[in-house]
Structure 1
Amino acid sequence: MGSASNIAIPVIDLQDFPGQSAKMIKACEDWGMFRIVNHEELLPVSLMLKMKTVIRSLMELPEEIKHQNTDVIINSGYFPPSDANPLYDALGLYDMASPDAVDAFCKKLNASPEQREIIVEYGQAVQQVIVNIGQKLGQALGLKDFSVDGWPALFRINRYRFTQETIGSSGLQIHTDTGFFTIVQDDDNHGGLEVMDLSGTFRSLDPWPGTFLVVIGDVGAAWSNGRLRNVKHRVVCKEPGIRVSIATFLLGPRDALVKIPEEFVDLEHPRKYVPFLYEDYRQLRISKKLQAGEALELIGVGAKNKLRSCC
């Protein structure tokens, strides 16, 4: 696997809006991602550090306990190491805004009251970040009333066990995210995340502690009529060590269709995708084993393979 050159993706200051609006949209169009700073009013760095301590502890649990983290929706629970991703495992929590879901997650993993308190606090704070970014993104695109408040999110704790012998190996295969966008708290010390630029070349992102990455997924690309870019990315082993990250995936409307706003459709930009339910699209991706955005072609206007909710 060839090495990727390092890049600095656009940095968005959450305290400078609407001043950063055009920069945010250009980042979504050119890179499909950006980094946010000055988010402390919503999610302080001290809470980020506490959460990292909790997830490191949870990932050290015995395998039999981690396997109790079962799916709520398909592929939302524990991911053990696999043939495709032998250096990676992860825990998942679907609908992190639900107290019942958090309770079930903590109970199955025997989390302590202190750990549960931090998970709840972090979940509530990252939910505020999600809603804030969704609002700013909608306003930047000219949508006055757009909101992602109430949309379910999937919270995932990722661990990569890298050794000297695995340097250059894949930690996580090339993929796009399924949902609207993802908030990523990356590892503070170990790099490895690589993103594909517009030329099709993978570029490496260095760690930047205390910041978040925002990554556009397939739903975001479809909803925006292809204007926002669903970026392909992967994780590669750069150095020995335990690499951990936290990803919060904003999925899609809870029970409503993903529809392209009329503001995004005109003679120069005809409608590219039919309306669909998020969960139908997720299951289509899994059933077809299409993990790098290819499934969007199957929900295109005029496509032969349409989702159940589109017909």
Structure 2
Amino acid sequence: MAQYTHVELLTLKGPEYRRVSTAPPRLPTDEEIPVVDLSPIHGDAAARAALAAQVRAAAENTGFFYIRNHGIPQGLIDGALSQAKAFFDQPEEAKQKVSNFKRKHMDGYHAVGTTQVNKTETKDRKETFSLRYNGRNDPTQPDASPAWDDSPMWAGTAHLPSFRDTTVAFWQARLALARKMVQIFALALGLPETYFDEVVTHPGADGLYVHYPGTPEAELQGKDDVDVGIGSHTDIQCFTLLWQDMSGGLQVLSGADEWLDARPIPGTLVVNIGDYLQRLSNNRFRSTVHRVYNRQRTSRYSMPFFLGFNPESVCQVVPSCVDEGHPALYEPISCGKWHRDRLALAQGKAIAT
């Protein structure tokens, strides 16, 4: 007989509890986490509509899917991974020079054990370097310029050849892809494909390098479970683009309350729905609980990109997801306030009103 426990998640309305099977993670079916060929994104209206139908099915099921033929060159991905490794291979004192705690900013370094995304689980065994949206790095902005290289963060990494240039180029490529995906999500919601274009001109757009250190052999052999790499959570923004290495470790909660082993597939990115897009879709699209474990002695690397809308844009449930039988479940809120309040909740701070 199947046995279950519960995962506790913090929300702005208090804790929520999700039933979770205690069985080991299993492989997903093709319907639970499908592989979507993104090449029709450059096709005619019929091709894009067919692509949107595939995305809609995935978003309404588990809220996770892989994309292939996404257009980001493999050489750029490899270069970004190389720069991530070079950064994390530094002594701790060198990484702390660009700590975002010191800079009181979203950009920069978070050390291992300084975050705990789920307060009922262990601290997160990971370290990160993050780059948030800056119009100077956005080629679509008229005032974009190379002046960003004067930032103290870049000064703190100037000794790493190509770190700044590659990191920004990879961030730009993912932002361009995310803006194309926004149009497909609009079609998937039964809206004109340009419906969200005005709210992604200067969006929340955070690109991260993440390093999950290897787990010592003694710990692997010493207990049934190791510390979580990142605890059980849902993503805050609209959606996430994730590159992961071949180590494995990403686990996704299925609609049947079972952990799915979202193993890496070469040449793909993982896309998953975030909480803000679930709000806009009136819960049609699913922001699904997921977590990461690194149950191996060697390092695991991933490079997620989180896309939200322009911070000041106040968005509400879209009209295609509301009718007499399905009233809007959520009040309008700006993406910036939503993001700030959720981050404050995660950090145990008071919510601004």
How many angstroms does 1:202 deviate by? 1.0
Q: 1:117 aligns with which of 145, 165, 172?
A: 165
Q: Deviations over 1:105-150 (max 9, x none)?
A: 4323335452222122212211111011111111222221222343
1:11 is the counterpart of 2:42: no
SS of 2:49's equivalent in the other structure is coil
Q: Decide which of 79, 91, 97 is 2:129's aligned counterpart.
A: 91
Q: CA deviation at 1:288?
A: 3.5
Tell me by how many angstroms 1:251 deviates: 2.2
Select the residue among 165, 188, 209 that pairs with 1:157.
209
1:211-244 CA deviation, whole Å, 9 max, x = no partner? Answer: 1111111111111111110111000123221000
Q: How many angstroms apart in 2 are the aligned matches of 1:288 and 1:127?
A: 27
CA distance in 2, matches of 1:180, 1:126: 14
Q: Deviations over 1:292-311 (max 9, x none)?
A: xxxxxxxxxxxxxx973xxx
Over the aligned positions, Cα root-mean-square deviation in angstroms equals 2.6
Counterpart position of 1:32: 63
TM-score by length of 1: 0.85
- The letter for the 1-side match of 2:263 is D
Per mean C-alpha deviation after superposition, the further-off stretch among 225-234 and 65-74 is 65-74
TM-score normalized by the length of structure 2: 0.75
**Matches of 1:253 and 1:121, distance apart in 2:** 21
User: Which whole-Å deviations, capped at 9, do the CAs of 1:65-98 have from their partners, x for residues lacking one?
Assistant: 3222326776554221227335211111111553
> What's the CA shift for 1:256?
1.2
Query: 1:54 is matched with which residue?
Result: 83
Q: Which whole-Å CA distance do the structure 2 matches of 1:81 and 1:183 have between them? A: 23
Q: CA deviation at 1:197?
A: 0.6
Could you tell me whether the CA contact under 8 Å between 1:196 and 1:202 is conserved in 2? yes
3-state SS of 2:328 partner: coil
Q: Which residue of 1 aligns with 2:3?
A: none
Aligned equivalent of 2:282: 225
- The residue number in structure 2 matching 1:192 is 249
| 1:29 to 1:307, Cα distance in 2 relative to 1, 3 A | farther
Which 5+ residue runs of structure 1 have no aligned equivalent? 292-305
CA contact (8 A) 1:31 1:197 kept: yes
Q: 2:260 aligns with which of 189, 197, 203?
A: 203
For the pair shown, the structure with the greater C-alpha radius of gyration is 2
Corresponding residue SS for 1:214:
strand
Change in Cα spacing, 1:165 to 1:95, as seen in structure 2 (3 Å) is: farther
Runs of 4+ with deviation above 3 angstroms: 71-77, 100-103, 165-168, 286-291
Unaligned runs of 5+ in 2: 1-21, 41-47, 115-121, 138-146
Q: 1:210 deviation in Å?
A: 2.0
Q: Which amino acid is 1:36 matched to?
A: I
Q: How does 1:1-311 map to 2 (within 5 A)?
A: 3-7=24-28, 8=30, 9-16=33-40, 17-40=48-71, 43-67=72-96, 68-70=98-100, 76-82=107-113, 84-85=122-123, 87-95=125-133, 98-99=136-137, 104=151, 105-110=153-158, 112=160, 114-144=162-192, 145-146=194-195, 147=197, 148-163=200-215, 164-167=217-220, 168-169=225-226, 170-187=228-245, 189-289=246-346, 308=353
- Residue 124 of structure 1: SS of its match in structure 2? helix
